[in-house]
Structure 1
Amino acid sequence: MDDLDHKILQLLAENARMPVKDIAQRVSLTSPAVSSRIHRLEQEGIIGGYTVVLRHPGAPARVEALISVLVDAATRASFLAMIEQEPQVLQCFRVTGSYNFIVKVSCTDIDALEHLLTKMQKLGSTNTQIILNTQLDRNLALD
C-alpha cells in the first residue's frame, strides 16, 4: 500500500458512499485509476466490506459492555453456540491472558445485561466492564 491507497482508504472511512469521481479529484488520479485501486484493496482483503451504522435519534440509551469470559475446553463449543444466538452480542474475540474470550455486548438495559451475564456464568467465569462512552472509534485501521 502506498500513500495514495492510504488517502483513498481515509476518504472511504469518512464516507463509504463517496463517489469515485470525488475521490479521484481529491487524490489527483483518474476515476478508472481510483476504481482499480479500490478493487485491488477489496481483493487483497484490506477493504473488508462496507456497512451502515444506524443511529436512532430519540431511541432509548443502551448499555454496552465488554465481558471477559473464561471457559474451559469442555464448555467452549456450548459457549460459542450460546453467544451466537444472542442478538445483543456484537463481537466476540478469542484472546490471550487470564480470560480466553472478550465479548462486546449492547443490551437494552441493566436487567438485560444481568440476564446475559447469568447465562454466560453458567458456562464460565466473567468479568464485566460497562462502557461509559467511546473516546475513539477507528472503524478502519490505517497503518
Structure 2
Amino acid sequence: MDKMDEKLIAALRHDARASLSDLALQLNLSRTTVRTRIERLQAKGEILGFTVVMKEDVLKDPVRGLMMVGIEGRGANRIVRQLQGLSEVRAINTTNGRWDLILELGTETLEDLDAALSKIRQIEGVMTSETNLLLATKKSV
C-alpha cells in the first residue's frame, strides 16, 4: 500500500459513498485509476467492505468504555475466546506495552457496565485492569 492508497482509504473513510468521479477529482487521479486501486485493495483484503453507521447504532450503547487488561502467563488466546462470548464487548484489541488487551465495551447503563467489568475481572488469567468511560466521540472513522 502506497501513500496514494492511504489517501484513497482516508477519503473513503470520510465518505464511503463518494462517486469515483468525486474521488478522482479529490485525489487528482483518473476515474479508472481510482476504480483499479479500490478493486486491488479489495482483492488484497485491505478493504473488506463498506458500511453505514446510523444514528441509532451510536445511541445503542449510551455507556461506553475502554478497558485495558493485563494477562498472567500465556492464556491470552483462551481469554480472548471467552471475551468474544460477552455481548458487552464490542471490540478486542491486542497491544504492546503495559497492557495486553484493550477492550471496547458498550452497555445500556452504568450498572450493566459494572456487571460486565466484574465478569471480565473474574476470568481466570486476568490479573489487572483499568477502565475509562468514553464521554464523547469527536471523530469516528
1:25-44 to 2 correspondence within 5 Å? 25-44=25-44
User: How far apart are the structure 2 equivalents of 1:98 and 1:27?
Assistant: 39
1:63-78 to 2 correspondence within 5 Å? 63-73=63-73, 75-78=75-78
- Match of residue 18 from structure 1: 18
1:1-143 to 2 correspondence within 5 Å? 1-3=2-4, 5-56=5-56, 59=59, 62-73=62-73, 75-123=75-123, 124=126, 125-137=128-140, 139=141
SS in 1 for 2:47: coil
Q: TM-score, normalised by structure 1?
A: 0.76
Percent identical pairs in the alignment equals 23
Amino acid at match of 2:40: R
Q: How large is the Cα RMSD of the aligned pairs?
A: 2.7
User: How far apart are the structure 2 equivalents of 1:136 and 1:27?
Assistant: 22
Higher mean displacement: 119-128 or 108-117: 119-128
Higher helix proportion, which one? 2
User: How far apart are the structure 1 equivalents of 2:130 and 2:41?
Assistant: 38
User: How far apart are the structure 2 equivalents of 1:26 and 1:71?
Assistant: 45
User: How far apart are the structure 2 equivalents of 1:95 and 1:104?
Assistant: 13
Q: Retained in 2: the 8 A contact 1:120–1:126? A: no
User: How far apart are the structure 2 equivalents of 1:29 and 1:82?
Assistant: 46
User: How far apart are the structure 2 equivalents of 1:13 and 1:32?
Assistant: 20
Task: Name the CA shift for 1:37/1:78 in 2 (closer, same or farther; >3 Å).
Answer: closer
Amino acid at match of 1:19: S
Name structure 2 gaps, 5 residues minimum: none
Task: Name the CA shift for 1:49/1:127 in 2 (closer, same or farther; >3 Å).
Answer: same
Task: Name the CA shift for 1:34/1:96 in 2 (closer, same or farther; >3 Å).
Answer: closer
Name structure 1 gaps, 5 residues minimum: none
Q: Retained in 1: the 8 A contact 2:61–2:106? A: no
Amino acid at match of 2:35: S
